[in-house]
Amino acid sequence: MRQTVADRGVHVTSLINNAGFGSFAPFTEADSGHLTAEIAVDVVAPVQLTAAFLPGMMSAGNGFIINLASVSAYLPSPRMAVYGAAKAFVLSFTESLWTELRGTGVTAFAVSPGATATEFTTGMGPDAQVLTAGRLRRPEDVVATALNHLDRRNPGPTVIDGRLNRLAVLSSRLMSRRRSALTMARVFDPGRLSASQPAR
């Protein structure tokens, strides 16, 4: 991969691992092939791309890597168990990279958005509308969060996009893991949307 890019005369100075997709269904009902592809895109690809291009950045003594994690990396994700686990991997992987890269001139950090107005839920089925039922951030907001963090004098390993998302993560840390999982099960329950509709 690295050689193919070099052969085309491209000098890589930065990498943004943004590609990803998820599924929304109880784990036992999800298609195993779809889940395998999800892991390949959300976990394997960022690792392979980072392995391909990070050595060149370190040799040059500058550059940056931004990995897209998710608020789901911090929270249990019923009906999105593999996606949440994949993003938890991305978060942990990036935090470790950040530590290893200190003093090299290369920056690495993870951006964790929550519900954002993109096509992420396309093809997930009608139940996935529960994921976009609240206030949505815009893609531009996420980009601004990432760039503002990059511009800091000493950016940390992670940044969460949006005040409400930061509060959600903070609140989850004050709960037991059991309580956090049960709370997220209610948040991701498609039935809560129909239950909130006024009777006719």
- Distance between CA 181 and CA 135 in Å, rounded? 22
Q: Which of 74, 83, 89, 188 is catalytic?
A: 83
* Known active-site residue 74: no
Token couple for 82: 């593999």
β-strands 14-17, 63-68 pairing: parallel
- Which residues are designated catalytic? 83
